[in-house]
Amino acid sequence: METFDVRSTLSGRRILMTGATGFVGKVWLAMLLDKLPEIEHVYVLIRSKGRPAHERLERIFNTSPAFRPLHERHGPDLTEFLRPRLTVVEGDVSKPGLGLDPATARRLRDEVDLVVNFAGLVDFNPDLRDAIASNVEGAIHTADFVESCRQAALLHVSTCYVAGHREGRIPETLDPTRTPNGTAFDAEAEVAFLHDLVARTVVEQDAPEVHDEIREQIVERLERRGLDAKESRIRAMASRLHRRRVKEALIEAGTKRAEELGWPNTYTYTKALAEALLAARAERIPVALFRPAIVESAETFPFPGWNEGFNTSGPLVYLAGTWLRHIPAKHHNKLDVIPVDHVCKGLTTAAVALLHREHRLVYQCGTSDLRPLTMDRIFELSALAHRRHLRLHGSTKARRVLLSRWDIKVSSPEGLLSVRNIRRVVHQVNRFLRHGLPTKIPHEVRDKADELAHDGENAERRLRQIEDVMDLFQPFIHDHDFTFECRALREVPIEDPEFRFDPASIDWRTYWMDVHMPGLRRWCFPEYEGRERESYEAPHAVSLVGEAERFGVVELPAAKERTS
């Protein structure tokens, strides 16, 4: 059987990346540059958000720990190393032609061998307009661009959870004509429907009665607070509130449509829609859909435990270290977690297959078929990791002695001690403290009750947040038990073991307790707790090349040395 050598396949190739500022994008870019310097060139397409695109990526290179291995390997010579290999391209996937200027687009069309589209919105229930722009139109524009290229193939990053409300083993296939609940589906018509839905929702929210209602609310609020209801103040507040109302209505419209068709949220629905649209182009362009499961802390690259954001298993794991005892999940259900560096190896594998034009349409990248991890085990390992940490580093004796031994239990969402029920009890207690006490009580007692009610309201707010997180996660941790088949990546005959996708090698206990949890504690929990996250500053700042420089307009600045 013919085998693929990763180095020789990628040697001399030119890759265009979108969404390189995201968690997976950054790690893949760092891995590519660190492990495969043979690559001819990487173009990173990035939006200019208030500052030039190359400055944005430069900042990321100099402050994101994902690039630490590159800084360590090349030190002050990193700029020199990157100069011939990396170009920052200003653009925007949500715009036709990727928002590129014509000259840059022309060059890229001639040069690029592979386009990897990481761009997308990962919020579960975002404003429908943003979800369409990033997840659907971003994918279409990228595919259009690939189609206009001389020789490029497209690797589009999606998610395993496009499976929606399905159950059991999820094969690496795609039926663009059916939704997860069996409804007939036409992707092009669905995009038109979504645009219409957005327009209708915006018009509905622009009705005079909505504006009147908003105005009434504001006046009432100002009067309640004893503030002057000046017209200019009312108008400013009304404009803000109206924008928020439109956004909320669009979030709700997206969620409702997703649910109608069998997806748990707008994110998975719009990602699935993009897949269906891309599948229709598979006859015209070489395209592969890459579906990672829940991407978590790195096992080894860029270094063990690297993670960012707090939106995957983080909140659940965090709860295991609180006084909460019941988590709504189902015994033996699997949660498909995969370290980011394994995902990056999978991406490289799929890229190699695409470049050889021996690819499949769908590559799933998870662990549930070969190394399943159950909810019970996740909470057991999380509780044990918290135990190990709290015993030594708990801030109070209660945390060191009691909380460290306070194990979390997997239970039904309707259980007696569910978050919802606890919050209801706290709410009733708060109400009693605020309004239920007799009027003729001593002043000191009233003050104390107010103080308690204040604390109780804070607790209620936190519980409400937890409840919201639980509701978002419920489809994945309680309602469905997925096993994502991940055969296609394993079947790519990669020669070099360093790049082989091998989820079976993960030892969950070591990973969870010694890598993932310490990583979350270091990089993610501070964000949730409102604390400052550990910062990273590269010892030698790099200067990146924007397309203007690359295409011969501006002289490159020399490498800067930090004085601090």
Partner 1 sequence: MSTSAEQPERAAFVRAEGVLVSRGVLSAVAYMAAHRPGFRERGLRLLQTATAAPLFAALGQRDRALGNRIAHLPLRDMSEDRIAVLAEEYVEDILRDKVLDTGVELLRRLRREGFHVVVLCEGIDEVMGRLVRSLEVADDVHANRLEYKNGRATGKLEDPVLGGYEGGRFVRDYAAERGLDLARCRAYASKGPDIVLLSAVGEPCAVNPDYTLRKAAREADWPVMDYPA
Of the candidate residues 202, 384, 429, 556, the single one contacting partner 1 (CB under 8 A): 384
Which range binds partner 1 by CB under 8 A, 88-96, 256-264, 383-391, 393-401?
383-391
The secondary structure of 377-396, three-state, reads: HHHHHHHHHHHHHHHHHCCC
Which H helix or E strand runs over 192?
A: helix 187-204
Name the segment binding partner 1 (CB under 8 A); options: 207-215, 281-289, 297-305, 382-390.
382-390
Task: Give the residue with the Cβ less far from partner 1, 34 or 376.
Answer: 376
Nearest Cα to 24, choosing from 306, 274, 271, 288? Answer: 306
Measured from the CB atom, the residue of 94 and 411 that comes closer to partner 1 is 411
Told to check if 403 binds partner 1 by CB under 8 A, we report no
Nearer to partner 1, 37 or 372 (CB): 372
Nearest distance, CB of residue 407 and partner 1, angstroms: 4
In the complex, minimum distance from the CB of residue 371 to partner 1, in angstroms, rounded to a whole number = 12
Alpha-carbon dihedral sign for residues 44, 49, 51, 55: negative
CB of 509 to partner 1, least distance (A): 5
Residue among 316 and 545 whose Cβ is closer to partner 1: 316
State in angstroms the smallest separation of the CB of 376 from partner 1.
8
CA distance 352 to 360: 12
Among 407, 467, 495, 514, binds partner 1 (CB under 8 A): 407
- Residue 247 touches partner 1, criterion: CB under 8 A: no
Which two three-digit tokens encode residue 441?
């009580």
Structure tokens, 440: 């003729």
Q: Is 399 in the site for partner 1 (CB under 8 A)?
A: no
Reduced to 3 states (helix: H, G, I; strand: E, B; else coil), residue 101 is coil
Q: Smallest Cα–Cα separation from 348: which of 26, 28, 37, 118? A: 28
Q: Could you say whether residue 202 binds partner 1 (CB under 8 A)? A: no
SS3 content of the chain, % helix, strand, coil (to 5): 55, 10, 35
Sign of the dihedral through C-alpha 511, 512, 516, 521: negative
Q: Fill in the amino acid letter for 172.
A: E
Collapsing DSSP states into helix, strand and coil, what is residue 291?
strand
Q: How far is the CB of 424 from partner 1 (least distance, A)?
A: 24
Counting contacts by CB under 8 A, is residue 409 touching partner 1?
yes
CB of 325 to partner 1, least distance (A): 9
d(CA 174, CA 367): 20
Q: What are phi and psi of 500, to 5 degrees?
A: -75, 135
User: What minimum distance in Å lies between the beta carbon of 297 and partner 1?
Assistant: 18
Cβ-in-10-Å burial (0-12, 13-18, 19+) of 438 comes to: exposed
Binding mask 43-82 for partner 1 (x = CB under 8 A): ----------------------------------------
Q: Does 400 bind partner 1 (CB under 8 A)?
A: no
Compute the radius of gyration of the chain from its Cα atoms. Answer: 26
Report the interhelical angle of 138-148 vs 266-279 (nearest 10°): 20
Q: Which stretch binds partner 1 (CB under 8 A): 173-181, 313-321, 376-384, 541-549?
A: 376-384
**Site stretch for partner 1 (CB under 8 A), options 97-105, 239-247, 403-411, 533-541:** 403-411
Residue from 41, 83, 247, 391 in contact with partner 1 (CB under 8 A): 391
- Which residue carries 């135990």 as its tokens? 387
Is 36 or 384 the residue whose CB approaches partner 1 more closely? 384
Q: How many residues form the binding site for partner 1 (CB under 8 A)? A: 13
* Calpha distance 325→538 (Å, rounded): 41
Cβ atoms of residues 361 and 355 within 8 Å: no
The strand pair at 14-18 and 41-46 is best described as parallel
Q: Interface with partner 1 includes 38 (CB under 8 A)? A: no
389 contacts partner 1 (rule: CB under 8 A)? no
- In terms of Cβ atoms closer than 10 Å to its own Cβ (0-12, 13-18, 19+), residue 480 is buried
Considering the rule CB under 8 A, would residue 514 count as an interface residue with partner 1? no
Region near partner 1 per CB under 8 A, out of 1-9, 152-160, 385-393, 470-478: 385-393
CA 97 to chain centre: 25
Of 99 and 372, which CB lies nearer to partner 1 in the complex structure?
A: 372
Angle at 313 between CA 180 and CA 372, to 5 degrees: 70
**Site mask, partner 1, residues 473-512, x = CB under 8 A?**
------------------------------------x---
Q: Residue 357: left if φ>0, alpha if ψ -120 to 50, beta else—which one?
A: left
Nearer to partner 1, 166 or 377 (CB): 377
How far apart are CB 401 and partner 1 at their closest, in Å? 12
Count how many residues are written for the chain: 564
Q: How far is the CB of 396 from partner 1 (least distance, A)?
A: 20
Q: Which of 34, 147, 380, 514 binds partner 1 (CB under 8 A)?
A: 380
Q: Which residues bind partner 1 (CB under 8 A)?
A: 377, 380-381, 383-384, 387-388, 391, 405, 407, 409, 509, 513
